[in-house]
Amino acid sequence: MQAERLLWRAGFGPRPGEAARLASKGLEGAIRSLTRPTVSGLVGPKPHGGDGNPLRPREQWGHDHLWWLDRMVRTRTPLVERMTLVWHDWFATSNDGVGQAALVAVIEAVGTLRPWKAPQS
């Protein structure tokens, strides 16, 4: 139960079997695995829009949100994505004030908040 709570607090909740695997590491091992991940990347199929085409966060309105939600759901490093979301919330730029060109810069800036680069499309 504590491992499940930790996964909700450090990320976006456990996948099936994830809480049991985390609990088997003990408290120190669990915290180390969340704060010093040895793996990166995303799990599962790449997302697509309603038309079946890949997401285009730089070109298609709304795909930036879908792209980020997908990262949060499929990440192998939930604390990294959770903290990226927190930092972005603190330092975010509104698209209303800067327009579409700056949205690309925001997507790139989000990439600097985590140790792995944002995708190119």
Residue of higher predicted confidence among 99 and 116: 99
49, 60 Cβ separation under 8 angstroms: yes
Sketch the domain layout of the chain as residue ranges. 37-112
What is the tens place of the pLDDT at every residue in 25-79?
999 999 999 888 888 888 889 888 889 999 888 788 888 888 888 888 898 888 8
83, 90 Cβ separation under 8 angstroms: no
Q: Which residue has the tokens 């499929």?
A: 74
Residue 19 is encoded by which pair of tokens? 């809480």
15, 8 Cβ separation under 8 angstroms: no
- 3-class DSSP state of 75: strand
